[in-house]
């Protein structure tokens, strides 16, 4: 029996010594991974408590992608059950595990800003004041996910476009937009960033449309005017672009001889 106890203590001591020896190596490896963008910064890495010791150890090895896939699937299952607390928590873990993958950030943003927020807003079993508050909270959480994604992937045109859509309030009823008003200044910034990083030409126009709506902002009106004039020079003539140009001409006091001398095109006809 004494031999068994002695061997057990010896094994424990050896295990601790191996851990002490490995710790500096693991810390240097983690530092290199953070420098090359493969591992989130230590301040954002809260997985030890959330995933448990075994899964946390796996994230430091080659299983981070696999664990992220598992937490993402669990988040989708939670979404199907409308368990929004789990959706948020699991999407947060997934994006921490794989911060360089655009799709996880985008999915987390839309799940919270659109699905979770709308679910609570139209849940008539709850008081209206509570529904409004929880709607704003979940919509804002969706924006936070998109913002975190942009910080991790600053050149990703898709995340900039998603964040611009959320700030512009491109999707949502008038009631929803009253609860969380658009931020046209930030919307324009991210639409333009999306365009400059390879996004569709429409994002340049949407940047102008957003900035044209910012109240008392002559500097942004001028940027919007310049963007739409460039678009107009290419031959693009949509009702929105021409109408916005004409509005900006008035706001900026453009001389009459330099204003557009053309009517606003009619909207495209709807096929019957």
Look at the pTM and tell me if it is higher than 0.85: no
Average pLDDT over residues 147-160: 97
Residue in 140, 235, 225, 145 with CA at minimum distance from that of residue 179: 140
Name which residue leads in pLDDT, 187 or 63: 187
Name which residue leads in pLDDT, 27 or 148: 148
The yes-or-no verdict on residue 117 having pLDDT over 80 is yes
Average pLDDT over residues 131-141: 95
* Burial degree of 54 (CB within 10 A; 0-12, 13-18, 19+): exposed
Structure-token pair, residue 56: 């946390």
The yes-or-no verdict on residue 203 having pLDDT over 60 is yes
Structure-token pair, residue 168: 């512009």
27-44 pLDDT per residue, tens: 454 454 444 443 444 444
Q: How many CB atoms lie within 10 A of CB 108?
A: 26
- pLDDT, residue 230, reads 94
The yes-or-no verdict on residue 190 having pLDDT over 50 is yes
Share the mean pLDDT of the chain.
83
The yes-or-no verdict on residue 197 having pLDDT over 50 is yes
Least confident of 51-60, 96-105, 239-248, 256-265: 51-60
Q: How many CB atoms lie within 10 A of CB 170?
A: 14
In whole angstroms, give the CA distance from residue 167 to residue 184. Answer: 7
In whole angstroms, give the CA distance from residue 61 to residue 242. Answer: 56
Dihedral class, residue 185 (left if φ above 0, else alpha if ψ from -120 to 50, else beta): alpha
37-85 pLDDT per residue, tens: 434 444 444 554 555 555 555 555 667 888 889 999 999 999 999 999 9
The yes-or-no verdict on residue 26 having pLDDT over 80 is no
């Amino acid at each position: 029996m004494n031999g068994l106890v002695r061997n057990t203590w010896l094994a424990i001591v050896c295990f601790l010594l191996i851990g002490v020896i490995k710790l500096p190596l693991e810390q240097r490896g983690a530092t290199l991974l953070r420098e090359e963008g493969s591992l989130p910064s230590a301040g954002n890495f809260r997985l030890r408590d959330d995933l448990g010791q075994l899964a946390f150890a796996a994230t430091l090895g080659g299983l981070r992608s696999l664990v992220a896939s598992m937490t993402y699937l669990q988040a989708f299952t939670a979404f199907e059950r409308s368990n929004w607390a789990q959706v948020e928590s699991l999407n947060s873990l997934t994006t921490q595990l794989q911060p360089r993958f655009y799709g996880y950030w985008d999915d987390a943003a839309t799940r919270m800003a659109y699905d979770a927020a709308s679910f609570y807003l139209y849940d008539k079993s709850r008081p209206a004041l509570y529904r409004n508050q929880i709607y704003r909270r979940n919509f804002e959480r969706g924006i936070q996910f998109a913002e975190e994604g942009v910080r991790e992937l600053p050149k990703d045109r898709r995340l900039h476009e998603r964040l611009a859509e959320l700030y512009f309030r491109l999707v949502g009823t008038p009631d929803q937009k009253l609860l969380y008003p658009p931020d046209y200044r930030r919307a324009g910034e991210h639409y333009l960033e999306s365009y400059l990083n390879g996004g569709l030409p429409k994002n340049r126009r949407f940047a102008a449309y957003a900035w044209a709506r910012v109240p008392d902002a002559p500097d942004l009106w001028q940027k919007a005017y310049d963007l739409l004039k460039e678009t107009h020079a290419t031959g693009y003539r949509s009702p929105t672009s021409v109408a916005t140009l004409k509005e900006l001409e008035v706001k900026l006091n453009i001389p009459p001889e330099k204003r557009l001398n053309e009517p606003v095109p009619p909207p495209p006809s709807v096929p019957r």
